[in-house]
Structure 1
Amino acid sequence: MTERTRRQLRRTASLLVIITLLFGCGAPSGSAGDAPRQETISISGAFALLPMVSLWAEQYQALNPNVRFDIQGGGAGKGMTDVLSGAVDIAMLSREARAEETARGATLVPVVIDAVVGVVNADNPHLSAILAVGLTPELARAIWIERTVTTYGQWLGVGGDDPITVYTRADASGAGEMWARFAGGATQEELQGIGVNGDPGLAEAVRQDRLGVGYNNIAFAYNPATGEPTPGLRVIPLDLDGDGAIRPDEDFYANKATIIDAIRRRVYPFPPARELYLVTKGEPGPTIKAFYRWILTDGQQYVAQAGYAPLTQEQIDAALAKLQ
């Protein structure tokens, strides 16, 4: 081999080393070039969905560490306002969207089912009679909307003039709208009573008032750890056939599992049971679509654990098709 040939081989080898360093190895291991881009999904809205979405976010983030979540409650009205103004990516909604909201781009995907229930203080002196008689839509209307029934004597058909202290939601909420619709109204604004902000606030107000009645999403009417009624509260049964008495087949309120089963079987009425939605302004982007698809497939395994009723398979299929 001549000296000239050796020099050419050395130059070629040096060039190959440079090319390898520049293109072959890529960015060093662990650098920003290898790491997936971090994304944050911000969510606000209905207290009814807060426990479920929080659990979904925890499980999804464990599978997708590059996706993080910023979640807060505040009520369905706040969530819708936030998402339509661009303050958050997703709203949690516990009612159907209104025409003016869809006109502004609100795009809904159903994710789970739950219900609103009437609640009464566990130390109410008339508790046994309340649990025996229950509530009808007509009676709920007389208590919360018309205010023609203002004492427990009128409610229960017995003597006594203990006043019914009526509580309702002060903030715009899906729970309030569902309870109004159950009582024959159309909007939350028709409900009368002492206004309290938030599901936790309303539950606490009734819990502190022996003569208080109100309504809550089941996530706050039942203890999330035990499934039993929240300490200090009892759920008011619904008199489904209107005969003035709660029969054994109407009494499914002992714990969260029994009422969830009644909702799943469509025995508990719609309303105050309802579908819960996640909402974006316009079509959701790829990251949110991926999260939605996971919720509607693998994420459904956590629904019972969180104390909700699942969507039907037809609802899931329709929602997945909408995401195509």
Structure 2
Amino acid sequence: MQIKKIITRILLFSLTLYFVACKSDRQKSITISGAFALYPLGVKWTEQYKKLHPDARFDLSAGGAGKGLTDVLTGAADLAMFSRALTPSEQQKGIVLFAVAKDAVLPTFSAKNPLADLIHREGLTHDQLKNIYLSGKSITWGSVLDTIVNNNISVYTRSDAAGAADTWAAYFGGKQDNIKGTGIYGDPGLADAVTKDASGVGFNNVAFVYDISTGKKRPGIEVIPIDQNNNRIIDRQENFYDNADSVLAAIADGRYPSPPARDLYFLTKGKPTDPGVIAFLKWILTDGQQYVKAAGYVPLPAEKIQGQLDQLK
């Protein structure tokens, strides 16, 4: 009789451990870290996925593409949001990239700038922008717009390791470290710094320049139009910065240059093996694509999506 009681207790204890383990597996969080560029879409995707899978748990944070990469490599995150190409040394670390959407980095200036109308009308050329952001020289607004205004342009850049900064610098053949300016942490901080400085310029991802719910530019920030044909006027085909929809259309059809238009990624260390991570990535690349445009991004073409799905097989 005593032996039966002992066996019964062992069985009950084992069953308890089994159900606790099942519950733990079911509620295991997927940790996602990285680029501010992808963060708003990451929030949208996790919210929608949890509606379909109530047991799914996510720990999502933005801290820059560099932090996301480091977190994945050290095991602190399952997925990284990433917003630039890998360097040759990073390619040797067994990283697997999954392109999930597309957006662009936009050059910005303050709505307080007294020359705002002239900037919108004439824009700045590639070479002028390169000189402003990379030369480190004191440059006045008057010298680039042929006016008598002698206010020096204040350049703001990212202080964190950022895909946006790397992508913007790549437009001029450089890297993030080549941008000369005051370092500000994060996309929101950089937008805020430029907004407050009437002489300031910076750069931001689309979702931090435009309010995606309204399509309008966020209060206080403006986009520097790029004069791509160097004729010192923003022609009709170059004039697409008024609202989010027109910018996204220009990114999609190539009217906005690449870089600073670019693919956005989730990345893993090696091919993912966690069933929860694989299921989430598959959903992002299939049903989850319906949320891309509404969140302020450009969907990827079907053939590119299929290539990403093939990596999960």
TM-score, normalised to structure 2, is 0.91
Residue number among 241, 248, 251 corresponding to 1:263 in the alignment:
251
Alignment correspondent of 2:130: 141
AA matched with 2:246: T
Percent of aligned positions with the same letter in both sequences? 46
Residue number among 225, 238, 260 corresponding to 2:213 in the alignment:
225
Q: SS of the counterpart of 1:168?
A: strand
Structure 2 CA distance for aligned equivalents of residues 275 and 290 of structure 1? 21
Q: Deviations over 1:210-248 (max 9, x none)?
A: 111110001101113212111000111111212111012
Are 2:64 and 1:75 equivalent residues in the alignment?
Answer: yes
Q: For the Cα contact (< 8 Å) 1:45–1:93, is it kept in 2?
A: yes
Are 2:174 and 1:186 equivalent residues in the alignment?
Answer: yes
Alignment correspondent of 1:44: 33
* Pairing of 1:64-103 with structure 2 (within 5 A): 64-103=53-92
Q: For the Cα contact (< 8 Å) 1:134–1:238, is it kept in 2?
A: yes
Structure 1 CA distance for aligned equivalents of residues 66 and 22 of structure 2? 41
Are 2:260 and 1:272 equivalent residues in the alignment?
Answer: yes
Structure 1 CA distance for aligned equivalents of residues 303 and 229 of structure 2? 29
Q: 1:147 offset after TM fit, Å? A: 3.4
Structure 1 CA distance for aligned equivalents of residues 285 and 124 of structure 2? 34
Structure 1 CA distance for aligned equivalents of residues 125 and 70 of structure 2? 33
Q: 1:41 offset after TM fit, Å? A: 0.4
Q: For the Cα contact (< 8 Å) 1:84–1:105, is it kept in 2?
A: no
Structure 1 CA distance for aligned equivalents of residues 166 and 85 of structure 2? 10
AA matched with 1:262: A
Structure 1 CA distance for aligned equivalents of residues 238 and 292 of structure 2? 24
Question: How many positions carry a matched residue from both structures?
Answer: 296
AA matched with 2:96: T
* Pairing of 1:82-231 with structure 2 (within 5 A): 82-148=71-137, 150-182=139-171, 184-231=172-219
Structure 1 CA distance for aligned equivalents of residues 251 and 309 of structure 2? 23
Alignment correspondent of 2:283: 294
Q: 1:65 offset after TM fit, Å? A: 1.7
Alignment correspondent of 1:310: 299
Q: Deviations over 1:181-235 (max 9, x none)?
A: 11x2321000001111110110000111111111000110111321211100011
Q: 1:135 offset after TM fit, Å? A: 2.3
AA matched with 1:243: N
Q: 1:170 offset after TM fit, Å? A: 1.0
Q: 1:111 offset after TM fit, Å? A: 0.2
Structure 1 CA distance for aligned equivalents of residues 99 and 188 of structure 2? 24
Rg bigger for which structure? 1
Structure 2 CA distance for aligned equivalents of residues 266 and 39 of structure 1? 41
AA matched with 1:271: P
* Pairing of 1:17-32 with structure 2 (within 5 A): none
Q: For the Cα contact (< 8 Å) 2:158–2:183, is it kept in 1?
A: yes
TM-score, normalised to structure 1, is 0.88
Structure 2 CA distance for aligned equivalents of residues 306 and 52 of structure 1? 6
Structure 2 CA distance for aligned equivalents of residues 221 and 121 of structure 1? 11
AA matched with 1:100: S
AA matched with 1:246: I
RMSD: 1.7
Q: SS of the counterpart of 1:306?
A: coil
Show structure 1 runs of 5+ residues with no match: 1-21
Q: 1:299 offset after TM fit, Å? A: 0.4
Residue number among 245, 267, 271 corresponding to 2:233 in the alignment:
245
Structure 1 CA distance for aligned equivalents of residues 222 and 138 of structure 2? 20
Show structure 2 runs of 5+ residues with no match: 1-10
